[in-house]
Amino acid sequence: MRIVKTLFYNLETSLLTTFLIFFSFGQLQRIQLNQQVAFYLTDLIIVVFLGVIFFKTKPRKTKKLVVVLKKLINNFFLELCWVAWLGLGLLIGWATGNLALLSVLYLLRLIVYTIFVISLPKIKSFAYPPRMGLALTALLMAVWGLVQYLLLPDVRFLTVFGWDNHYFRLIGTLFDPAFMGMLLILGFGWWQSAEVLPTLPQKWRWLVQLLFIITLAATFSRASFIALVVLLGGLLVSKQLDLKSFIFSVAVLLITLSILPKPGGEGVNLARTSTAQARGLNIQEGLKLQGGQWWWGKGLFNVDRQKKYETPDHAQIPDSLPVMVVNATGLVGLVLAGLVLHKWFWSWWLADPVWTSLLIAVLTHSLFNNTFLQPFIFLALWGSKSNTTSKSSKNENLFNI
């Protein structure tokens, strides 16, 4: 009863708990409106949450517009340049007829998600930290994924509904082994954080993290294995993990992989080349830019209405994040994105090395799958960012504007 009171302590906490419950359902709470347009029940909860926060926020005294603009330009010049460049790409996409309704919906969802994750660290009335809630949700999803793998290893019937066919691979409620693998890695990292059940003994934490590694192995997602090693390396460098734990984690992954059943099929073959060939073709298609598009791109989420991608199992947006950024914003946009990331990386690392290591792991994973902008991964990663900042960036925190 005490746990229930905590989970639904007040309106804000109740909405956060409801969001996490539906979040754990993954694609099961997806509502498909037509062949292209779909939304999640979590989207509705996010909109309600933002509405509640907006109406409960006390208005502050309005400062002079000149003072506000001067502060924004001084502190966030690079970010403003990046946003302006994105806006230019959207205008060009609109002028060339590439700004379809689907593009607008993608962009609108990204904006709403961004406002949501930025607002989470500002809410002081939560009965528990969002990172703790996400960590427990990830644990629940790992258990559900394990149940799916043990009881329903053959999910090739999902191809009827437009999903990839997988055989003896853990796909969980996200219906995708790569994205599920990255979520399990996030869970592993969250349980390394002191914010997650601080009174829990370390041995119990390791048991939970052991479950994440075992379930991760069952995904047979090579990009996720690389991302896990990157995360472990980041935790080792930041002294959040010792060398013995690093070696033990990698050993558990390799041992689990060696004993998992491999009844046949491309998915459980770690030496498979079909996915690499498909991604290579997808990269070539994503970099088919002409003239000035190499400088300013086609616009974020803009698509060519007259063009169909040759790869049947991939979306029109490139799978690789760097390729997508070049496709959307050109080489100039790629440089601006790199400068913005460089500006904030060190302050994030000093303030929260665990979360920053998770960010690096997601970016690494996004070299092979566009994981960074996958709805569940985006919400999970940025929603778990705490409000801590380093001394050097106290007045320039993107999450504390």
- Render 12-32 in DSSP notation, one character per residue: HHHHHHHHHHHHHTGGGGEEE
The structural domains of the chain, with segments of one domain joined by +, span 2-400
- Average confidence score pLDDT of the chain: 84
Q: Which amino acid is at 260?
A: L
pLDDT band of 393, cuts 50, 70, 90: very low
**Mean pLDDT score, 188-213:** 89
pLDDT: which is higher, 387 or 190:
190
Closest Cα partner for 128 from 20, 206, 230, 245? Answer: 20
Q: Which residues pair with 38 in a beta bridge?
A: 32
309 pLDDT higher than 80: no
Q: In terms of C-beta distances under 8 Å and separation of at least 24 residues, what long-range contacts does 142-145 make, across chains too?
A: 142/172, 142/184, 142/187, 142/211, 142/212, 142/215, 143/211, 144/24, 144/172, 144/173, 145/170, 145/171, 145/172, 145/173, 145/180, 145/184, 145/215, 145/218
Cα-flanking dihedrals φ and ψ of residue 31, to 5°?
-115, 115
Burial of 234 (C-beta count, 10 Å sphere; 0-12/13-18/19+): buried
Encode pLDDT of 224-236 as tens digits. Answer: 999 999 999 999 9
pLDDT: which is higher, 91 or 24:
24
Question: Rounded distance, CA 348 to CA 337, Å?
Answer: 16
**The pLDDT of residue 58:** 67
pLDDT band of 276, cuts 50, 70, 90: confident
**Mean pLDDT score, 99-120:** 86
pLDDT: which is higher, 394 or 263:
263
pLDDT: which is higher, 386 or 47:
47
Angle at 310 between CA 306 and CA 315, to 5 degrees: 80
306 pLDDT higher than 60: no
H or E, element range at 40: strand 38-40
Encode pLDDT of 141-194 as tens digits. Answer: 999 999 999 999 999 888 888 888 888 999 999 999 999 999 999 999 999 987
**Mean pLDDT score, 12-39:** 91
Q: Which pTM does this prediction carry?
A: 0.88
